[in-house]
Amino acid sequence: MSEERLRRVRDRVRPFPDFPEPGVLFRDISPLLKDPVAFRTLIDLLEDHLRASFPKIDFIAGLDSRGFLIGPPLAQRLGIGFVPVRKKGKLPGPTESISYSLEYGKAELEIQSDAVEPGQKVVVVDDLLATGGTMSAACELLRRLKAEILECLVVIELKALKGSEKLGSIPFYSLLQYD
């Protein structure tokens, strides 16, 4: 991975101090999404990583909502399908659902019961890993469907929050890391 390409992506992540509350430094990917060259570079880097790491992937599973921004173009590049993991109540038909704890309360995620077949190989994608609650819950949903989770993949990892520890033995990759 070239440092120049990585810097092009990193330079488009904007820090917002004291959001959503005092003392938090929010990492905003909006400038990255607005810059077509930087966004294409992001997808290039993620595609290069996945092609080098896995000979066969069946689906990208993207987490509501920013995983929906990264997952579909990445899936298109790889010539595979995209599966949404949504907030509760947003998907039609039979679903699997899970409740999980957040720093500030509880949340629920769902996936359609027929989203993947047993044994299909899935990479789970989101923009950011903080405490790991949402990513861990999504992995549990995919396990219930008997998918083989190859990796959890994010653009940004907030290392100090140790979210990757919640993923246990599931391989994890982050393009950018911040303390």
Active-site amino acid positions: 66, 103
- Look at residues 37, 106, 51, 104 and name the one whose alpha carbon lies nearest to residue 80: 51
The residue with tokens 């990759």 is 173
Rounded distance between C-alpha atoms, residue 32 and residue 34, angstroms: 5
The residue with tokens 């890993």 is 129
Three-point CA angle 87, 93, 94, nearest 5°: 80
Amino acid in position 25 = L
